[in-house]
Structure 1
C-alpha cells in the first residue's frame, strides 16, 4: 500500500486540486484509492436524512474522485463551520484536536486494503492543532510519504525550500513535488528549474488553471509513485 500525504507551501496553494488530479490519475490506472481529509475548517451546514452535517467542499471533491466507497464522515472526521485556523475553531467549540484520534481513524481507512491512501493536509506543513501539537506529527506517526505542492508565485522558492527542509528534518521522505501555476509568474520556467535543481525528488506534474480534472490528471508522471507498489 502506498501512503501519501499532500502538503503545500501555504494555504490556498492548490492541495485539493492536486490531490483530486492525482487520485483521478491513479484511478485511471485501475488502482483502488482511499482518501483522508482529517481536519477541515470552512464547511457548509447541509441538511441530510440523519440531520444537519458539516460538509467541506475539499473533502467532498476528494471523496467523489476516489473509488473506495467511503462516506464523507469517514473521509473528513473533524470539520468546523468557521473558515479559520482549526485549532482556533476547536477552542471556540470547546473541543480538542487529538492526535491519537487522527491516527486511529487513519488506521481504519488503511484497513480497507486499498492500493493507495491519499491524505490531504490543511494549511502548510506546520499546521498547529493546539496544545503545542502540529499536524506534521500525525504524518510522522503514520509514516506517510509526502508530496509537496508549490504555489508558483513570487517568494515560493523560500517557502518551498523551508518546507522541504522541515519535512526531511522530521525524518520523512518527500517522494515528489508539484508545480502548481495558479498565477502568471514572471520567469516561471526559471523558478521551476531552480527548485528542480535543489530538490532530490522528481517533479510529478506542472499544473495550471485547468478546470478539466481528466486533463490535469494526464499531466502526472506516476512512475516514481507506482515504483513503491
Structure 2
C-alpha cells in the first residue's frame, strides 16, 4: 500500500501579534479530529524559564493541541528568553541561526509519522535569521503550503498584498488566508472584500476577537481546511 505524503502547512502573518498562534491552534484543533498532526514553532523569543527550561507560551499551546506526543523541545527547539528579534537574541548569546539548521530540526519530526506538520512562523514572512538568511528560506527548502493570517486593521491591505507577493515570488503557494479581527475596524467587510479580489487563495474564515483556539475554529471553514490538509499518495 503506497505511503501518504506528509502535508506541510506553514502559518505566517502580516506582522507580529497578528494572531498566528490563535489561527494555527484552531487549525490543529480541526485537523486532529481525523489526522495525526505534529506541530513546529522553530524559533521563539520571549520565554519563561521554568526549572531551567525555556518555555514559550505559544509553543506550549500548540504542543497541548497536537496529537503526536511531542516533547516541547521538538515543538520549539530554538528558544530565547528575551522578547526581541530572534537573530539579535542569538547574537547577544554568541549563537547563530540558519535555515539549514531549522530544516534539519523540521525533518526530525518525521520520526513521529505525522499526516500533517503544521509550522507556525515568527513575526512576518521575512523574519531575519542573521547572515542574510530568513525563516522564509526554510519554508522554501521544505516546500511549505502557506496560510496567511491578516491582522485586520488600518494598513492591512498593503501588508497583506506585499506578504502575498513575497510568498509567491519565493515560489510557494498561498493555500488560504484568514481575516483575524482583533480590534474593531471601520469598513472591515469592505476591506475583506477588497482583499478577496486580490489574493488568489480561498478565505478560510473571519475570526472575531475570541479567547481560545476552540472558539476560533468555529469561525474557520472546516471543509476547506480538510481539503488543504489532504495528502496525495506517493
TM class, shorter-length: over 0.9
Q: CA-to-partner distance for each residue in 1:140-197, whole Å, 9 max, x for gaps?
A: 0011110000000000000000000000000000000000000100000000000011
Q: Quick one: distance in 2 between partners of 1:186 and 1:225?
A: 28
Residue 5 of structure 1 aligns to a residue whose secondary structure is strand
Tell me the matched-pair count: 224
Aligned match of 1:12 in 4, 8, 17? Answer: 17
Structure 2 equivalent of residue 88 of structure 1: 88
Structure 2 equivalent of residue 40 of structure 1: 44
Alignment of 1:3-152 (within 5 A): 3-28=8-33, 30-47=34-51, 52-152=52-152
Residue 216 of structure 1 aligns to a residue whose secondary structure is helix
The answer to whether the Cα contact below 8 Å between 1:13 and 1:150 also exists between their aligned partners in 2 is yes
The answer to whether the Cα contact below 8 Å between 1:25 and 1:220 also exists between their aligned partners in 2 is no
The answer to whether the Cα contact below 8 Å between 2:178 and 2:204 also exists between their aligned partners in 1 is yes
- Mark the runs of 5 or more structure 2 residues left unpaired by the alignment: 1-5
The answer to whether the Cα contact below 8 Å between 1:175 and 1:225 also exists between their aligned partners in 2 is no
- 1:212 CA drift (Å): 4.1
TM-score (norm 2): 0.93
Residue 32 of structure 2 aligns to a residue whose secondary structure is helix
TM-score (norm 1): 0.95
Q: Answer with 133-142 or 217-226: which moved more.
A: 217-226
Q: Quick one: distance in 2 between partners of 1:15 and 1:212?
A: 12
Q: Answer with 198-207 or 166-175: which moved more.
A: 198-207
Q: Quick one: distance in 2 between partners of 1:96 and 1:81?
A: 15
Q: CA-to-partner distance for each residue in 1:184-224, whole Å, 9 max, x for gaps?
A: 00000000000011111101111011114323212221333
The answer to whether the Cα contact below 8 Å between 2:10 and 2:118 also exists between their aligned partners in 1 is yes
Q: Quick one: distance in 1 between partners of 2:215 and 2:53?
A: 32
Q: Quick one: distance in 2 between partners of 1:92 and 1:9?
A: 27
Q: Quick one: distance in 1 between partners of 2:41 and 2:91?
A: 20
